[in-house]
Amino acid sequence: MSVRNLRIEFPTRRGTLVAVDDISFDISPGEILGVVGESGAGKSLTGAAIIGLLEPPGRIAQGEILLEGRRIDNLPYEQLRRIRGRQIGAIFQDPLTSLNPLYSISRQLVETIQTHLPLNDREARTRALALLDEVGIPSAGERIDHYPHQFSGGMRQRVVIALALCAEPRLIIADEPTTALDVSIQAQIISLLKGLCHEHGTAVMLVTHDMGVIAEAADRVAVMYSGRIAEIGPVQEVIRTAKHPYTHGLMGSIPLIGHHVKKLTQIDGAMPRLQEIPAGCPFNPRCEKVMDCCRVERPNLQTVQKSRVACHLFDGADGEARAGE
């Protein structure tokens, strides 16, 4: 999946608000890209735009979204709806938003399977059972005819993952899939998602505000701030040697076992509201390393080691000229 120069706008009476501003990234088959940031950074909107569920008046004002080389952002509603089920699966924070409380799990799975695959009732039920087994529902044969309320939160999220996998999608958008779950269950769901995606070769965009989830699940991570990508790179490199001052602050705010620090880092201030994004680098009012150029020039993403970083500290031919100062 490729996102190219995506810009999402909200026209309002007081002017146009830019919620996502010129972001580009790719996700390869079997790869999990974690997208992290504070609420309002534009991560969920990006996921919604990819899946074609951007709520009006939000609109894609610029850019392209390509799935397996085919542009999908400009397709008519009906075509996109078909692609959404067949090629793109979705997992949201609350499993109950994806499940109909009035229908048994078997009915929901069988209907979804038959919408996308040419299978008769018996074949679809067999596939539904296999999926429930695969996502770790114990005694799937007995539980398949139960209703959503008869499952625990973690089990419901497993059912939602089974639903998302019904048509063997090429891409899954998982938006805060573990936020509503107990911590012990979170780890199980993350490892399930990770295993399934690597096995099926499904690309995953994992949207979360939780760096722990990113560290556990993602292959690469994109850090978003004020609708832009601040840093994107392999997860271990971003965690161990964060380059952008915002990423650095995020990492410093996470307690680590075995690391004795008196006080965790705090990033002073708050992310600007959409109507108040400052000129230049949007992080400049909160940045400890701010320079004059940061207040006027927007930093572009540039390659530093295996990552790409949007920060003037890395301007210059060698990419790290001012970073050590």
* Closest CB to ligand SF4 among residues 135, 311: 311
Q: Are 57 and 11 in contact (CB under 8 A)?
A: yes
Residue 206 DSSP symbol: E
Judged by DSSP in three states, 282 sits in coil
CA distance 216 to 234: 13
> Rounded distance, CA 165 to CA 144, Å?
16
**Rounded Cα gap, residues 270 and 279, in angstroms:** 16
Distance CA 197, CA 202 (A): 5
In angstroms, what is the minimal distance from the CB of 224 to ligand SF4? 14
What track of x and - describes contact with ligand SF4 for positions 19 through 58 (by CB under 6 A)? ----------------------------------------
| From 72-80, 249-257, 265-273, 289-297, span contacting ligand SF4 (CB under 6 A) | 289-297
Applying CB under 6 A, what is the total number of residues that bind ligand SF4? 14
DSSP per residue, 84-139: HHHTEEEE-S-HHHHS-TTS-HHHHHHHHHHHHS---HHHHHHHHHHHHHHTT-TT
Which residue from 50, 283, 301, 307 is in contact with ligand SF4, where contact means CB under 6 A? 283
Region near ligand SF4 per CB under 6 A, out of 80-88, 199-207, 235-243, 288-296: 288-296
Strand partners, 2: 26, 66
Q: Which is nearer to ligand SF4, 53 or 296 (CB)?
A: 296
HSE-up (13 A, CA, CB side) for residue 60? 22
The residue type of 255 is P
**289 makes contact with ligand SF4 (CB under 6 A):** yes
Closest CB 16 distance from ligand SF4, rounded Å: 24
CA 221 to chain centre: 9
Residues of this chain, 156-195, that bind ligand SF4 according to CB under 6 A: none
* Binding test (CB under 6 A) with ligand SF4, winner from 299, 304, 307, 308: 299
Q: Which is nearer to ligand SF4, 95 or 299 (CB)?
A: 299
Based on the shown chain and the rule CB under 6 A, indicate whether residue 291 belongs to the binding site for ligand SF4. Answer: yes
Rule CB under 6 A: say whether 281 interacts with ligand SF4.
yes
Which residues would be at the binding site for ligand SF4 (CB under 6 A)?
Answer: 244-245, 281, 283-284, 287, 289-291, 294, 299, 311-313
